[in-house]
Structure 1
Amino acid sequence: MPPTGRRERNKQEKLDRITAAARELFAERGVDEVTTQEIAEKADIGAGTLFLYAKSKGELLLLVQNSMYAEALAVGTSAAARSSDVLEAVMAIVRQVVQCNRKQVDNGRTYLREIVFGDPEEPHHRDALVLTVQTEEAIAEVLRRDAEISAGAATLAHIVSAIMFVSMAATINSARPVDEVVREIEDQVRVLLRR
């Protein structure tokens, strides 16, 4: 791989500062209580520069949450690989995604809304959509272990994903702890898989 030029290193360094500033401020106060100006100031860049990296606060949230989601998916997929029970393996993936999404519940719910209603032409939105596809692929891979459901694994994974996202986004679940949300999802997945 050729060495990265100064311009590219500077761009990456700014992106890293923006991501760190947004992550910290969103975690402290929630996405709705933070302004893009505050993020720019914390990242030590101009507001105009900020918008070169993310065109809206929603895009900034996608940027922050995507990195955490990718990490959670990797941890969940690794845990799933160590489990021989299909339901347990699926739930290993689901649990990590739910925990990631609920570190700051309002941010997590806003993130889900951005995924569904955001502009798919924006790069951070595209990245979020890719993560949802990767989640379904990881779940489908687990489901293919069971010969009885292997043929429908992709469709079942899509349904599991829908169950997970609706459970995380539901207003009725906004105050519920992670374990209760995971248990609700598991109960539905168990019925789906007839376990």
Structure 2
Amino acid sequence: MTGAEGPPARPAGPRGRVDPRVAAAAAVAAAEHVEPVDSEPEYEGLVTRAVAFAIDAAIISAVSVVVGAGVAVSLSVLSVPGDIENAIFALAGGVCALWSVAYFVTFWSATGQTPGNRVLGIRVRRADGDATLSPARSLLRLAMLTLAAIPLCAGFLPILVDDRRRGIHDMVAGTVVVGSGEDQPPAA
């Protein structure tokens, strides 16, 4: 022999065909070496979620500043009495708050991802495995997110120790944050 051997010989049956028993044994041996697929998704931690939230806050603030500047310029050009001007500014503050709520609720309900989440490759989904959040569940999550931030952000501390990386707002709303590829079915 020259040291370079060809492929291993396959036991052939009559007429040069591969023996089905040998093929079945080879398939079983190959199946034994397959790594088990981990069905547990990768839950996202505090830093990734905080950076995504900062991106969302920047988007919300930028839109609010542009709209607010437009309102302020309009009011400075028009001759509006002081009481009405104050009422308009109060209304603008309410619209800004409503805009913030609508931003999160709409994105979480529609796709599970805000633009900040999309940039970081994360997605909010129901803890029971269903990929979509209802608008009511999204609103509950946002309300609890706000409450979790009030006591010096203590409501976010469970994210550091919970095995599913859930904060108080996630626990109450029944949600988890996973990598955005975790909801996709395997490619065929």
Q: Same fold (TM over 0.5)?
A: no
Structure number with higher helix proportion: 1
Structure 1 or 2, whichever has the larger Rg, is: 2
TM-score using structure 2 length? 0.31
